[in-house]
Chains A and B, each alone.
Chain A
Amino acid sequence: MSFLDLKNVTKIYPNGTKAVHETSLSINEGEFMVFVGPSGCGKSTLLRMVAGLEDITEGDINLDGQLMNEVDPSERDVAMVFQNYALYPHMNVYNNLAYGLKNRGIDKETIEQKVNDAAKLLQISDFLQRKPSMLSGGQRQRVAMGRAIVRNPKIFLFDEPLSNLDAKLRIQMRLEIKKLQQKVGVTSIFVTHDQVEAMTLADRLAVINDGIIEQLGTPIEIYNNPKSLFVAGFIGSPQMNFLDANLNNKTLSAENFEIKNIDSDYNGEVTLGIRPEHLIESENGLINLNVELVEQLGSDNLVYGQIKNIKDFCYRSPGNQTIKKGDTLSLNIEENKYYIFDKSTGKRVN
Chain B
Amino acid sequence: MKIKPLQIVAHIILIIGVLLMVLPIWISFASSTHENVSILTEGMRFTLGDQFSRNYNEVLNEKGGWSEEVTAAKMFINSFIMALGIATLKVAISAMSAYALVYYRFKLAVPIFWLIFITLLVPLEVRIFPSYKIVSDLGLTNSYTGLILPLVASATATFFFRQFYKTIPDELLESAKLDGANAWSFFIDFLVPLSKTMIAAMFIFMFVYGYSQYLWPLIMTTAEEYWTVVMGMKIIYTESYEGVALPRTAERFAYIILSMIPPVLVVVFLQKWFIKGLIQTEK
Binding site for B on A (CB under 8 A): 51-53, 72-74, 76, 78-80, 82-84, 86, 88-90, 99-100, 103-104, 133, 147, 151
B177-A90 in contact (CB<8A): no
The answer, yes or no, to whether B182 is at the interface (CB within 8 Å) is yes
A53-B174 in contact (CB<8A): yes
Given that A100-B180, A103-B185 are known contacts, is A80 also in contact with B175, CB under 8 Å in the complex? yes
The answer, yes or no, to whether B179 is at the interface (CB within 8 Å) is yes
B178-A88 in contact (CB<8A): no
A74-B283 in contact (CB<8A): no
Q: Which of B169, B172, B175, B179 contacts A103 (CB 8 A)?
A: B179
Chain A residues with CB below 8 A from B174, complex form = 51, 53, 73, 80, 82, 86
B282-A89 in contact (CB<8A): yes
Q: Which of A51, A74, A80, A133 contacts B180 (CB 8 A)?
A: A74
Chain A residues with CB below 8 A from B180, complex form = 74, 100, 103-104
What are 28 residue pairs bridging A and B, where the CB atoms are less than 8 Å apart in the complex?
Answer: A52-B177, A52-B178, A53-B174, A73-B174, A74-B178, A74-B180, A76-B178, A80-B174, A80-B175, A80-B178, A84-B169, A84-B171, A86-B171, A88-B172, A88-B190, A89-B283, A90-B193, A90-B194, A90-B282, A99-B181, A99-B189, A100-B178, A100-B179, A100-B180, A103-B180, A133-B282, A147-B175, A151-B179
B179-A86 in contact (CB<8A): no
B178-A79 in contact (CB<8A): yes
Q: Which of A52, A86, A151 contacts B172 (CB 8 A)?
A: A86
Chain B residues with CB below 8 A from A100, complex form = 178-180
Chain A residues with CB below 8 A from B175, complex form = 80, 82, 86, 88, 147
Q: What number of B residues sit within 8 Å (CB to CB) of A?
A: 19
In whole angstroms, what is the CA distance A89 to B167 when docked? Answer: 13
In whole angstroms, what is the CA distance A79 to B179 when docked? Answer: 8
Q: Is the interface of B mostly helix, strand, loop or mixed?
A: helix
In whole angstroms, what is the CA distance A76 to B283 when docked? Answer: 28
Chain B residues with CB below 8 A from A104, complex form = 180
Query: Closest CB of chain A to B264's CB: distance in Å?
Result: 29
Q: Which of B185, B189, B194 contacts A89 (CB 8 A)?
A: B194
Smallest CB gap from A99: residue in B: B179
Chain B residues with CB below 8 A from A52, complex form = 177-178
Query: Closest CB of chain A to B180's CB: distance in Å?
Result: 4
Q: What is the count of residue pairs linking A and B with beta-carbon distances less than 8 angstroms?
A: 61
B194-A103 in contact (CB<8A): no
Give the 8 A-B residue pairs with the shortest CB-CB distance, closest first.
A103-B180, A86-B171, A100-B179, A86-B175, A74-B180, A90-B193, A82-B171, A73-B177
Query: Closest CB of chain B to A5's CB: distance in Å?
Result: 20
Query: Closest CB of chain A to B183's CB: distance in Å?
Result: 10
Chain B 258-283 against A: per-residue CB contact (8 Å), 1 yes, 0 no? 00000000000000000000000011
Query: Closest CB of chain A to B126's CB: distance in Å?
Result: 40
Question: Of residues 139 to 191 in B, which have CB atoms within 8 Å of A's CB atoms?
Answer: 169, 171-172, 174-182, 185, 189-190
Smallest CB gap from A89: residue in B: B283
Chain B residues with CB below 8 A from A86, complex form = 169, 171-172, 174-175
Chain A residues with CB below 8 A from B177, complex form = 52-53, 72-74
A78-B178 in contact (CB<8A): yes
In whole angstroms, what is the CA distance A82 to B193 when docked? Answer: 22
Chain B residues with CB below 8 A from A90, complex form = 190, 193-194, 282
Most buried by B among A74, A78, A104: A74
In whole angstroms, what is the CA distance A117 to B190 when docked? Answer: 25
In whole angstroms, what is the CA distance A72 to B181 when docked? Answer: 11
Smallest CB gap from A104: residue in B: B180
Query: Closest CB of chain A to B112's CB: distance in Å?
Result: 20
Query: Closest CB of chain B to A80's CB: distance in Å?
Result: 5
In whole angstroms, what is the CA distance A88 to B189 when docked? Answer: 10
Query: Closest CB of chain A to B280's CB: distance in Å?
Result: 12
Chain A residues with CB below 8 A from B179, complex form = 74, 99-100, 103, 147, 151
A103-B178 in contact (CB<8A): no
In whole angstroms, what is the CA distance A88 to B179 when docked? Answer: 11
In whole angstroms, what is the CA distance A90 to B182 when docked? Answer: 18
In whole angstroms, what is the CA distance A89 to B168 when docked? Answer: 11
Chain A residues with CB below 8 A from B194, complex form = 89-90
Known contacts A80-B175, A86-B169, A90-B194, then 4 further A-B pairs from the complex at CB < 8 Å, ordered by chain A residue:
A78-B178, A99-B181, A100-B179, A151-B179
Chain B residues with CB below 8 A from A83, complex form = 171
In whole angstroms, what is the CA distance A294 to B247 when docked? Answer: 98
Chain B residues with CB below 8 A from A79, complex form = 178
Query: Closest CB of chain A to B87's CB: distance in Å?
Result: 23
B185-A73 in contact (CB<8A): no
Chain A residues with CB below 8 A from B193, complex form = 90
Chain A residues with CB below 8 A from B283, complex form = 89
